[in-house]
């Protein structure tokens, strides 16, 4: 089973350097080009998605739709076109930044020059009407719900279906999602592809993340049972697993849908090969909000000129 954790294309809020979590920020023209390149890259690499799961926010949906549009046409035995729909899920939405939504990164500085989320929130919480950011625990619950209701069932069907899944979401929640998926896997079951090791060197699999616009993490999930230990003894892997679960209990334990016997090979981290050579359109056009209507008007004008 192949899974791609994908961040959306560039947005208006990204360009403006403001916090945009629950805000439904539009893709820029450059962001649409990024997503288009991504879809073309997958198609050229023979990646055929069976499932496309997306945050319900427009920037993620648009990115997912452009990936889907680039997929080659597939027909079933009756010659009907078969292609995955983009399933929109609120569980994949970005962290809600509360009162910081739409606020410049630079504006979040207290009078005493405190920096960082912790010190600044301590100051801001005293302001009337302040709305706090979504908590880590809330994001973990959403990530767990997504895994339990959508991704884990597909993993368990892997032998029969061999699914290829695109998960299009946002930077913060994707990092949370990866950690929650990792917590379901046996200790020592996550490995890095040699190309990843060559490119990045030693990487802590617990902290994989850092998604650029349309950057993606690619993984292969396969069933690989752990060695059976002799009754009354504990293998080093079993000991590590017990230690890991004990550590997780101090955070938020996984109580269901553990993926015992499954392993993950991480094949790409924040891959951006599809963006090589892509340049932003000048004159502010690249950073402007993308308008589908304008694109259709431009195509109509060009067609009329050709007809004349």
Instruction: Indicate the burial class of 237 (C-beta count within 10 angstroms; 0-12, 13-18, 19 or more).
Output: middle
CA distances from 272 to 45, 57, 301 (A): 14, 22, 34
Task: Confirm or deny that 31 is annotated as ligand binding.
Answer: no
Q: Is 180 annotated as a binding residue?
A: no
* CA–CA separation, 295 and 288 (whole Å): 13
Between strands 2-7 and 216-223, the pairing is antiparallel
The verdict on whether residue 8 carries a ligand-binding annotation is yes
CA distances from 122 to 118, 137, 229 (A): 6, 19, 50
Pairing of β 164-169 and β 51-55: parallel
Q: Are 204 and 22 contacting, i.e. CB atoms less than 8 angstroms apart?
A: no
According to the annotation, is 103 in a ligand binding site?
Answer: no
9 is in an annotated binding site: yes
Query: Which 3 state secondary structure label does DSSP give 107?
Result: helix
7 is in an annotated binding site: yes
The Cα 33–Cα 280 span in angstroms is 9
Sign of the torsion angle spanned by Cα atoms 168, 172, 175, 177? negative
Q: Annotated binding residue at 13?
A: yes
* Cα distance between residue 61 and residue 135, in whole Å: 24
CB atoms within 10 A of CB 72: 8
Are 63 and 90 spatial neighbours (Cβ–Cβ below 8 Å)? no
The annotated binding site is made up of 7-14, 59
The annotated binding site for substrate is made up of 7-14, 59
């Amino acid at each position: 089973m192949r899974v791609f954790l994908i961040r959306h294309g560039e947005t208006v809020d990204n360009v403006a350097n403001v916090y945009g979590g629950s805000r439904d920020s539009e893709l820029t023209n450059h962001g649409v080009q990024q997503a288009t390149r991504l879809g073309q890259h997958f198609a050229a690499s023979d990646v055929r998605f069976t499932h496309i799961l997306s945050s319900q926010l427009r920037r993620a949906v648009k990115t997912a739709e452009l990936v889907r549009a680039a997929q080659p046409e597939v027909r079933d035995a009756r010659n009907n076109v078969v292609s995955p729909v983009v399933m929109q899920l609120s569980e994949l939405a970005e962290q809600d930044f509360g009162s910081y939504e739409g606020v410049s990164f630079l504006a979040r500085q207290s009078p005493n020059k405190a920096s960082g989320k912790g010190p600044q929130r301590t100051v801001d919480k005293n302001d009337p009407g302040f709305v706090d950011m979504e908590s880590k625990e809330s994001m973990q619950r959403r990530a767990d719900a997504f895994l339990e209701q959508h991704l884990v069932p597909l993993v368990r069907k892997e032998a029969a279906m061999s699914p290829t899944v695109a998960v299009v979401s946002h930077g913060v929640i994707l990092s949370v999602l990866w950690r929650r998926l990792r917590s379901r896997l046996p200790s020592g079951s996550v490995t890095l592809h040699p190309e990843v090791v060559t490119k990045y060197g030693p990487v802590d699999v617990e902290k994989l993340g850092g998604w650029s616009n349309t950057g993606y993490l690619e993984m292969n999930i396969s069933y690989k049972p752990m060695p059976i230990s002799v009754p009354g003894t504990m293998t080093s892997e079993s000991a590590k697993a017990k230690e890991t679960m004990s550590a997780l209990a101090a955070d938020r334990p996984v109580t269901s849908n553990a993926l015992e016997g499954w392993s993950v090979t991480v094949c790409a981290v924040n891959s951006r090969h599809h963006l090589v050579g892509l340049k932003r359109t000048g004159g502010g056009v690249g950073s402007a909000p993308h308008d589908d209507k304008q694109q259709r008007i431009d195509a109509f004008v060009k067609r009329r000129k050709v007809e004349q």
